[in-house]
Amino acid sequence: MRLNAWLARAGVASRRKADELIKAGRVTVNGEPGQLNTFVQRSDDVRLDGRPLAKQQLAYVLLHKPAGVVTTASDPQGRPTVVDLVELPIRVVPVGRLDADTTGALLLTNDGELAHRLAHPRYEIDKVYDVETWRQPTDVQLEELSRGVALEDGPTAPAEVRRIGGARLELTIHEGRNRQVRRMLEAVGHRVKTLHRSRYAHLTLEGLEPGAWRELEPSEVERLRAATRDS
């Protein structure tokens, strides 16, 4: 594991701030100054300012993100963050993002390797959204969404689309671009009124009120690992 990821998992700092600590020469691995390209093994002795560090236990959290909360570890504008909502002694960070106004299922973890795999489009992790638009989309527009639409950063992959009723639809995507669902709807002529992620991979929000969270069961973590395992 790369040194900055190891430090993040140890709860020392984010990867970006860990890079700053490494550049400042404050981190050693087996008595030698750590470098940005240093890889850490399980048996290695990692220290910060001479103080031994132990890798934190892995944690996996499912949060029902409420509206008005930002999906970052900290916010310069002082808005509440998803990390503020999770009261664990272990530092966890969100996997991907949901807009401040978007609600629903959000996974947080300190397992950097799994988080990276879950975010990679090659593994086609389902992200299921309940979308309400201001006007009722036509069947032709829903077909456009299902085939994939052209965005300024390239065409999207095909999506699964199901009309729930009126101006509400269920949209399943496997990518995680910035504001992707909103931009996809805009590409076919609609603005999103409300957006809620009802499912992430196999994880649903059953039993979780907005703002509530729970740790995943070992079997749920294993399913996530299986979904991102190279065949």
Q: Is 99 a catalytic residue?
A: yes
Spatial contact of 115 and 218, defined as CB atoms under 8 Å apart: no
Angle of helix 218-227 relative to helix 112-119, nearest 10 degrees, comes to 50
Q: Could you say which of 44, 75, 99, 130 is catalytic?
A: 99
Record the tokens describing residue 44, joined without a space.
């290695």
How far apart, in whole angstroms, are the C-alpha atoms of residue 60 and residue 215?
6
How many helices and strands, by DSSP H and E, does the chain display? 7, 15
How far apart, in whole angstroms, are the C-alpha atoms of residue 191 and residue 198?
19
* Closest to 113 measured CA to CA, from 40, 174, 176: 40
Length of the chain: 231
Amino acid at 205: L
DSSP-assigned beta bridge partners for residue 195: 131
How far apart, in whole angstroms, are the C-alpha atoms of residue 112 and residue 8?
8
**Residue positions annotated with a catalytic role:** 99
